[in-house]
Amino acid sequence: MQNHVIWGVAQAKGKYVVFIDADIIVNDNYLEELDRCYAINDNIIVAGGRLLMNAAIPEEICLENKLFKSNYLTSEHVEKEFREEVFKDLSFNGATMQNPFLFCFTCNLSVPRDEIATLGGFDEDLKKWGVEDVEMVYRLYQKGLKIVFNYRNTVVHQFHGNRQGKVVKKEQEEEVDYNSRIFSQKHIGAMGLDAQGIQRLFRSIATVYKELEKAISPDENCIQIDFKEANQLVQIKQLLKGLIAKKISHIVIYDYVEQTDLDIWIQLQETFGKQVKYYPISKII
């Protein structure tokens, strides 16, 4: 069977391939947010966030362009995806995660076109539900591509008739397990896990991810930085570079401004195994 991703890439004329599910609604500035990321580095993977509708969206909300411009998304009809809870735990900095590819889903993902073409697209041996997008990004990550999470570029996934849980639904376990076996056979020892560990992971990335992350010792040196004035951006970046270069093992940045490129910039720094945690205040209060 021909790889439809590669066929699509061959037809594409742009520099980047954007993956979006058919039942996804994007904000007006979706492409502008991708531009903001690629203006800093043009060879990265950009993963955006997602909100899940728990009810059908009234047609007039979409026709009148009110979905992102009213309080509709803060109503009881919307559920935050599990990744947001993960990022509150680990931070919104992919560069300080052990396995950031686990949180890259093609419901909202952008990848340089040439990298997809070279990679060969999805692995079509993964014939069942799930894992295929994570596996593709895993291979890109192994090639050295950096992963950036853009929390500002959140999309809305339309109502599927059920709520999201933290574990794979019972009726999907067999399909996920099938793809997990293929993954573990092709990527032996990935993430330090055996085949059983990989199966357990893909049944619940929302909980098992904690076991794969480096624990922070209470004895580690920690410095907290509060970014509250946009005109301090240059000084903040210089300070962070200096701290990363020193024997500071744990740095935490709280971004009160959220109108600069600090969220993307910090994810492209070489942290040399240190914990450099970034939190936009709007996401953690």
pLDDT tens per residue across span 69-80: 767 777 767 888
Cα separation, 71 vs 78, in Å, equals 11
Q: How confident is the model at residue 163 (pLDDT cuts 50, 70, 90)?
A: low
Tokens 């599990």 sit on residue: 82
d(CA 193, CA 185): 12
d(CA 141, CA 95): 11
Q: Name the band, by pLDDT with cuts 50, 70 and 90, for residue 1.
A: very low
pTM score: 0.91
Whether the CB-CB separation of 187 and 173 falls below 8 Å is answered with no
Contact 46, 57 (CB under 8 A): no
HSE (CB half, 13 Å, CA atoms) of 264? 21
For residue 117, give the nearest of 1, 15, 34, 37 by alpha carbon: 15
* C-alpha span between 9 and 199 (Å, rounded): 31
How high is the pLDDT of residue 233?
A: 98
For 175, half-sphere exposure in the C-beta direction (CA atoms, 13 angstrom radius) is 11
H-state helical runs in 52-172: 59-63, 82-90, 113-119, 132-142
CATH architecture of 4-212: Alpha-Beta Complex (3.90)
Residue 136's pLDDT is: 95
Q: Copy the structure tokens of residue 249.
A: 């093992």
